[in-house]
Chains A and B, each alone.
Chain A
Amino acid sequence: MDNQTQDNTVLSKEDFERFREFFYEKTGILFDESKRYFVDRRIIERMKATGYDNFKSYFIAIKYDISGKELQNLINALTVNETYFFREEYQFQAMVENMLPEITSRKKPGERVRIFSIPSSTGEEPYSIALYLLEYWKDIDKWDIEIVSSDIDTNVLEAAKQGVYSSRSVQNLPKPILQKYFTPLKDGYYKITDDLINAIEFKKANIVNSIEMLKFRNFDIVFCRNLLIYFDDLSRKKAAENLYNAMNPGGFICLGHAESMSRISSIFEVRRFPKAIVYQKPLEGNV
């Protein structure tokens, strides 16, 4: 359309604020002024893609679309979903410094520690957990640890089992770790050692399917990062409940840094550790 009441390239201050409030209510993510350009651009892109020429009609469309599809597209566009090794490392630090000591203090010798990573995506996260434990957990030799990792997408599970990564994906790894556990391939790729590939159990799972999720039980730590944000409210709740059922009492769950249970469910307790806020399934007295 030719007649615009606003500049085509940027949202008005009121529009940005209104959108920001809405997005915050939906996801708990609050964009500050510094993200203005990024947010504007993504919204304009989505408006073009869906054929809306003004923000108001686009906004009403996403608010009232029963399928929630466009809102989901918008969420996807606004949340960066890059996976790489040692992403959000502070949670792994909290794992070895705080979570594991608490968990093992309640276990008898010979009992296993079980860790669940979902989604596995192409494997960066479960391998990161394994690497972190091997390199930074002082009690790694005292306990048996099982790491299970799942994804709904069998292609990425296959890729995870191949264990081949780009230099971009491994760039956060300290050089000694890269050298110790990876073999350089052609074209700047790296392959992770077979020992680690064989140490992780990769299984397909649909996190909102409660019957399927019954197969996953007794986890002490769950990493579920940057997945729930892509679901609608009801599915998010179901997923949280399924994860709750998959955990031992006192078990911990970590979400992505911009995510919070405050948009999902109050069944978990909030625990604040020096490096991270995580969630815990209540101990005795509860289910």
Chain B
Amino acid sequence: MNVLIVDDSALVRSYHRQILESGGFYVEEAANGLEAYEKALTKNYDLYIVDINMPVLDGYSFVQKLRDTKDLKQSPVIMVSTEQENKDKDMAFRCGANFYIAKPVKSEELLGFCKIISGVN
């Protein structure tokens, strides 16, 4: 399964990469929502793991763009964020995310969601 990790922190991307690779997933990275969108237009990803707060294009806007794009509408999205307030979680689901995980991410939780998604695929 091809996963795109979208986060402005190289360290966080590394951390998530390490978790996902240990689960046998193939990982690519993008540093913000716009870069992720450009990549999404060029390649098929089976799953997006998306941070909320990023420069240029934030996570919510990126997910909305995916949902508005013909071939990308159904892409599974796990939103990941430091924000733990319910309103942020609500916002994540409203913009089209499938799952929401609070940072710092626990590897079992992330892998658990990934396995559900790859099972569905």
Contact = CB atoms under 8 A, between A and B. Distances in A.
A272 B70 CA distance: 13
B34 A261 contact: yes
A28 B35 contact: yes
A24 B56 CA distance: 15
Nearest to A233: B55
B61 A28 contact: no
A25 B61 CA distance: 20
A266 B58 CA distance: 10
Interface stretch (B36-44, B78-86, B88-96, B101-109): B36-44
Contact of B35 (A262, A265, A272): A262
A46 B41 CA distance: 37
Majority DSSP secondary structure for residues of B touching A = helix
Interface in B19-56: 30-35, 37-38, 41-42, 56
Contacts of A270: 34, 37-38, 41
A133 interface: no
A275 B113 CA distance: 36
Interface string A246-278: 000000000000001111111000101000010
A45 interface: no
A21 interface: yes
Contacts of B57: 262, 266
A272 B42 contact: yes
B1 interface: no
Given A262-B32, A270-B38, A21 B10 contact: yes
A260 B35 contact: yes
Contact of A277 (B8, B33, B42): B42
A233 to B, nearest CB: 9
Interface in A80-121: none
A22 to B, nearest CB: 9
A19 to B, nearest CB: 12
Nearest to B65: A270
Contact of A265 (B30, B31, B56): B56
Nearest to B30: A262
Contacts of B31: 24-25, 28, 262
Interface in A185-235: none
Interface string A45-57: 0000000000000
B61 A266 contact: yes
B81 to A, nearest CB: 19
User: 8 tightest A-B contacts by CB?
Assistant: A262-B35, A262-B34, A272-B41, A266-B57, A21-B10, A266-B56, A266-B34, A270-B38
Interface of B: 8, 10, 30-35, 37-38, 41-42, 56-57, 61
Interface of A: 21, 24-25, 28, 260-266, 270, 272, 277
Given A261-B56, A270-B34, A270-B41, 15 more contacts: A24-B10, A24-B31, A25-B8, A25-B31, A260-B35, A260-B38, A262-B30, A262-B35, A262-B38, A262-B56, A264-B56, A266-B34, A266-B56, A266-B61, A270-B37
11 contacts: A25-B8, A25-B31, A28-B31, A260-B35, A261-B56, A262-B31, A262-B57, A266-B56, A272-B41, A277-B41, A277-B42
